[in-house]
Homo-oligomer: A and B are copies of this chain.
């Protein structure tokens, strides 16, 4: 893991919702997918993941239900709600703005000769 979690902090819910925006899924799969997409550089810790699920369900962004697996471990599936979709799009827009701002704020002024 080379990406420190401090930098991701605050984006966990958005990342999860992005996933559920495309298709319903379950915790373990979401986490594996994030690991793959990050090339192994980042993984959500389980406590973080399930904590985020709880918050998202509490605020009505997702709903959960047990899958009917007949083999293997049981899975709790999550599905994004309409409210969750809106919340996600808002969060993503906020991210775009924050990204621009941080880029601006951590740019050093090595131009200074005009």
Contacts and interface: CB of A to CB of B under 8 A. Distances in A.
A105 B14 CA distance: 9
Given A6-B10, A10-B6, A10-B7, A102 B95 contact: yes
Interface of A is mostly: helix
Interface residues of A, number: 35
A2 to B, nearest CB: 7
A49 interface: no
A105 B34 contact: yes
Given A9-B10, A98-B3, A18 B105 contact: yes
Interface of A: 2-4, 6-11, 14-15, 18, 21-22, 34, 37-38, 41-42, 91-92, 94-95, 97-99, 101-109
